């Protein structure tokens, strides 16, 4: 039922990661990287030209923060199942999966047909009620009984904003605690403690300090620190919400022990804070019951994104109990007491139709479990390669979320005496590895994360492993 066949041994992984960041970077040498650059020059001329034009009109030359841009972003023209094709006809195995939503595989025909039917009937948006809004909300409730009411929004970022607003409106408290390293979208109040735990406002350019003054971070898995925060906050009006990614920050880049979520639930109950699960990634990727079903822990609020619109635009929302979600009563007559959320394109029929049919199809086909088995096969193969080439790299998987840490940059500690000298080369290495994998025919998420899908057959995984081996052999 769930994508995870065996939960990772977190203390063992933490030890290996510690050893990785204690080892000098181990990457393909400069001559090998130059060969890969030469491959791009020879084979991706159309992408290069597109990148030059993009750089004139798009800041940084790419719209996505995670787009591969060394030596230049690839101009992708076709997606199907396990593969992407660029404008020069090169085929790549797609482990980016658009950042996670396409558990069925890329450009799944049935969803495309349903969306096309909907568009022919009523277009993408009317601003009125549509049956698909009801069908999607009801289906989510069927899969996640804790989500009695669901409010569709435009993105995971908006879902997080809404969850924080609901928690504050419902509890009358103000503080919000997140786990260091976690990304919960880019709204002012959560661009705090991103990627590397403990970094606080390091990435908060353009955000006034007041906007995150009530946001706090605690180290991944550190329950004592969380208790201390909750205790300190209790003397200052209390904590509205503790927000976690249930598999650990950045989809488990900093993994947490299995019992962590249950223990956070207990702390929230003790201190009267709401527990918010950010299931933007885990929502339906881990199984139709999400992380809350897998861990058997009830959050008060759940944030959705990605799969909730099946890879189609405007993917986000928030759900929870009747009582808590009551603060969002919609419509004109509810004005006055409600917490305001909304949006011109929130809950448009297109996103709801895509999300509804995607979830039905994921359930019917057992896509989360199949994608999880692909993740298991890939991780086992990567482990074998790491051992064969005696590399310090660390790999583990949480179902279809596979981590491959080669540089360890996100695990550097601010307490590390050489933090700032280590940061640059380790960050560069991620980009170099990402480039090498792509030249060998595999697209990853930022060179360190891999999302598998139902389309990843054993043959696809074995091809990918052969590509990883070609890179590892040159380290």
Ligand X SMILES: Cc1ncc(COP(=O)(O)O)c(C=O)c1O
**Which of 184, 229, 379, 449 forms a contact with ligand X (CB under 6 A)?**
184
Q: Give the CB-nearest residue to ligand X.
A: 156
Nearer to ligand X by Cβ, of 7 and 186: the residue is 186
Looking at 69-77, 273-281, 353-361, 379-387, which segment touches ligand X (CB under 6 A)? 273-281
Residue at token pair 């527990």: 275
Q: Does 426 bind ligand X (CB under 6 A)?
A: no
Other Cβ atoms closer than 10 A to 60:
12
**Which of 92, 95, 183, 192 forms a contact with ligand X (CB under 6 A)?**
183
**Which of 157, 189, 218, 397 forms a contact with ligand X (CB under 6 A)?**
157
Question: Least CB distance from residue 187 to ligand X, whole Å?
Answer: 9
* Alpha-carbon gap, residue 94 to 444, rounded angstroms: 7
Residue list 90-119, contact with ligand X (CB under 6 A) = 99
Nearer to ligand X by Cβ, of 281 and 385: the residue is 281
**Which of 161, 176, 256, 281 forms a contact with ligand X (CB under 6 A)?**
281
Q: Does 456 bind ligand X (CB under 6 A)?
A: no
Q: Does 162 bind ligand X (CB under 6 A)?
A: no
Nearer to ligand X by Cβ, of 44 and 452: the residue is 452
Q: Does 241 bind ligand X (CB under 6 A)?
A: no
Tokens of 280: 């933007």
Looking at 229-237, 277-285, 368-376, 436-444, which segment touches ligand X (CB under 6 A)? 277-285
Q: Does 156 bind ligand X (CB under 6 A)?
A: yes
Buried/exposed code over 178-215 (b: 16+ C-beta within 10 A; e: otherwise)? bbbbbbbbebebbbbbbbbbebbeebbeebeeebbebb
* Alpha-carbon gap, residue 438 to 93, rounded angstroms: 9
For ligand X (CB under 6 A), the number of binding residues is 15
DSSP string across 37-88: HHHHHHH-HHHHHHHHHHHHHSGGG-SSTT---SS----EEEEEBTEEEETT
CA-closest candidate to residue 43, choices 439, 467, 463, 466: 439
Q: Does 245 bind ligand X (CB under 6 A)?
A: yes
**Which of 70, 133, 278, 376 forms a contact with ligand X (CB under 6 A)?**
278
Q: Does 305 bind ligand X (CB under 6 A)?
A: yes
Q: Does 280 bind ligand X (CB under 6 A)?
A: yes
Residue at token pair 């792509």: 438
CA-closest candidate to residue 124, choices 307, 358, 314: 314
Nearer to ligand X by Cβ, of 219 and 460: the residue is 219
Calculate ∠ Cα 94-449-384, nearest 5°.
95
Q: Does 242 bind ligand X (CB under 6 A)?
A: no
Tokens of 41: 């020059």
**Which of 8, 28, 181, 185 forms a contact with ligand X (CB under 6 A)?**
185
Looking at 156-164, 261-269, 362-370, 407-415, which segment touches ligand X (CB under 6 A)? 156-164
Q: Which residues contact 2 (CB under 8 A, 6 or more apart)?
A: 286, 287, 289, 293, 294, 368, 369, 372, 399
Looking at 55-63, 154-162, 321-329, 460-468, which segment touches ligand X (CB under 6 A)? 154-162
Strand 442-443, strand 91-94: pairing: parallel
DSSP string across 329-362: --SGGGTTTSPP---TTTT-HHHHHHHHHHHHHH
Looking at 155-163, 191-199, 222-230, 261-269, which segment touches ligand X (CB under 6 A)? 155-163
Q: Does 304 bind ligand X (CB under 6 A)?
A: no
* Contacting positions for ligand X (CB under 6 A): 99, 155-157, 160, 183-185, 245, 278, 280-281, 305, 315-316
């Amino acid at each position: 039922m769930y994508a995870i066949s065996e939960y990772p041994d977190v203390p063992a992984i933490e030890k290996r990661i510690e050893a990785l960041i204690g080892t000098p970077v181990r990457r393909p040498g400069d001559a090998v990287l130059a060969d890969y650059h030469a491959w791009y020059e020879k084979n991706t001329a159309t992408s290069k030209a597109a990148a030059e034009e993009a750089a004139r009109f798009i800041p940084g030359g790419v719209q996505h923060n995670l787009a591969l841009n060394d030596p230049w972003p690839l101009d992708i023209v076709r997606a199907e199942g396990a593969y992407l094709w660029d404008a020069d006809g090169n085929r790549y195995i797609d482990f980016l999966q658009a950042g996670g939503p396409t558990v069925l595989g890329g450009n799944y025909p049935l969803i495309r047909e349903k969306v096309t039917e909907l568009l022919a009937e009523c277009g993408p948006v009317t601003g009125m009620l549509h049956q698909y809004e009801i069908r999607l909300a009801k289906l989510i409730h069927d899969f996640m009984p804790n989500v009695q009411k669901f409010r569709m929004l435009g993105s995971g970022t908006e879902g997080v904003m809404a969850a924080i607003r609901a928690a504050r409106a419902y509890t009358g408290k103000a503080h919000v605690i997140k786990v260091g390293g976690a990304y919960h979208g880019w709204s002012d109040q959560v661009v705090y403690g991103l990627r590397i735990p403990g970094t606080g406002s390091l990435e908060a350019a353009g955000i006034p300090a007041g906007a995150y003054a009530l946001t706090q971070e605690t180290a991944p898995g550190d329950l004592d620190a969380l208790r201390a925060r909750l205790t300190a906050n209790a003397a200052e009006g209390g904590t509205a919400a503790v927000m976690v990614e249930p598999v650990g920050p950045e989809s488990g880049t900093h993994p947490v022990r299995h019992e962590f979520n249950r223990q956070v639930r207990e702390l929230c109950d003790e201190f009267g804070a709401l527990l918010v699960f950010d299931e933007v990634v885990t929502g339906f990727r881990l199984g139709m019951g999400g992380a809350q079903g897998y861990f058997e822990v009830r959050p008060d609020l759940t944030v959705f994104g990605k799969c909730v619109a099946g890879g189609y635009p405007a993917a986000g929302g928030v759900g929870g109990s009747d009582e808590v979600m009551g603060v969002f009563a919609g419509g004109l007559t509810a004005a006055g007491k409600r917490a305001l959320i909304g949006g011109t394109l929130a809950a448009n029929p297109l996103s709801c139709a895509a999300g509804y049919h995607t979830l039905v199809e994921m359930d019917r086909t057992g896509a989360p479990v199949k994608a999880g088995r692909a993740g298991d096969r890939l991780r086992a193969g990567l482990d074998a390669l790491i051992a064969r080439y005696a590399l310090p790299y660390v790999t583990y998987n949480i179902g279809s979320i596979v981590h491959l840490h080669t540089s360890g940059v996100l695990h550097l500690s601010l307490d590390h005496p050489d933090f700032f000298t280590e940061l640059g080369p380790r960050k560069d290495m991620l980009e170099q590895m990402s480039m090498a994998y792509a030249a060998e025919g595999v697209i990853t998420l930022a060179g360190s994360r891999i999302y598998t899908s139902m389309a990843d057959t054993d043959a696809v995984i074995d091809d990918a492993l052969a590509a990883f081996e070609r890179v590892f052999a040159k380290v």
